[in-house]
Structure 1
Amino acid sequence: MLSELTSEVIETMLANQYFGRIGCAADNRILIEPVMYYYDGHFIYGLTRQGTKTQLLNKNPAVAFEIDETISPDIWRSVVIEGVYEELQGEDRDDALFFLRQRKIPVFADEQLGYPGVDSPVRQKVVYPVVYRIRIVSKTGRCYQRSLDFHQAPAAYTE
């Protein structure tokens, strides 16, 4: 049976998950990518590197963000957010990095995240992340749990 998630369940899922998917579109191209994130109750924060995703988002900041929780094929929950992407600078960027550093930030083995004003070892490639937030416009959630009560199943499933 498919049903809507309560706002309390949506908030709990967003606060307790680490990874989601961000979707964006521009120039007749659609992109969906996995991302690590932090949710503070108001915004989705994340970081990435300059590339296709940031190019598309700078052209069209309308974004979709989605998280899932699958217990089994018969039990799952999903939250979808519509929002607006914005790159952060200055104090907003520093505040977001404080929370994001407490998460495992994905980098390649030969890379190190660089931060403005902090010296980095010369032996590693330094990547300066783009820090962003998603300003939430709407949040929806659904869940599915297969009914074990065969008396409620349509006749085609009981024959």
Structure 2
Amino acid sequence: MLRELKDTQIEALLKDQVIGRIGCHSAETMYVVPVNYVYDGINIYCHSAKGMKIDMMRANPQVCFEVDEIKEVTNWQSVIAWGKFEEITDMKEKQQVLQRLDERVAPFIMDDSVTREHGFVDEESDIGTTVDLIIYKIIVSKKTGRFEKR
């Protein structure tokens, strides 16, 4: 039976997961793409290289974000959040967010050689010098969650 998640369950799922999906829309095109993220209880933080997703979010900053945990077809939970894309331009804030992303995602990367390819750097001061990363946040305005457990 399909049920609604409580606010505490929504917050827990957003904080526990590492991969979510951003949905964006611009110029009559919709696009959904998986991203690594970290959630601080207020905003969702991500990083990206320049590309279609960034171009679309710059053109239309209204986005949605989905995260889920699926154990079986009838045992899952999912959260959808709506909010506004905002690019982070302050170098100190970019460094702090990148460090938080690295600390959150790195334990799930088995091969250390992947971290550079994935956009993470050895030193937080490397941001903006050796790696061209766009750091951004989704300012969350609404969240809803559902689950099924049989």
Which bin holds the TM-score, normalised by the shorter protein?
Answer: 0.7 to 0.9
Note if contact 2:14-2:39 (Cα within 8 Å) is conserved in structure 1.
Answer: yes
Pair member with larger Rg: 1
TM-superposition CA deviations, 1:64-99 (whole Å, max 9, x none): 000011111111100000000010011322221120
Give, in whole Å, the separation in 2 of the partners of 1:109 and 1:94: 18
Runs (4 or more) in structure 1 with deviation over 4 Å come to 105-114
Does the residue aligned with 1:139 lie in a helix, a strand or coil? strand
Which structure is higher in helix share? 2
Note if contact 2:95-2:127 (Cα within 8 Å) is conserved in structure 1.
Answer: no
Question: Is it true that 1:92 corresponds to 2:93 in the alignment?
Answer: yes
Does the residue aligned with 1:3 lie in a helix, a strand or coil? strand
Note if contact 2:119-2:133 (Cα within 8 Å) is conserved in structure 1.
Answer: no
Question: Is it true that 1:44 corresponds to 2:56 in the alignment?
Answer: no
Q: Name the residue aligned to 1:139.
A: 143
Number of positions where the alignment pairs a residue of Structure 1 with one of Structure 2:
138
Which runs of 5 or more residues in structure 2 are unaligned? none
The percentage of aligned residue pairs carrying the same residue is 34
**Structure 1 residues 93, 75: closer, same or farther in 2, change over 3 A?**
same
Please give the residue correspondences for 1:52-91 in structure 2 after superposition, counting only pairs within 5 Å.
52-90=52-90, 91=92
Q: Name the residue aligned to 1:115.
A: 127
Question: Is it true that 1:130 corresponds to 2:131 in the alignment?
Answer: no
- The TM-score with structure 2 as length reference comes to 0.84
Q: What letter is aligned with 2:26?
A: A
Q: What letter is aligned with 1:43?
A: N
Which runs of 5 or more residues in structure 1 are unaligned? 121-126, 147-159
Give, in whole Å, the separation in 1 of the partners of 2:119 and 2:27: 31
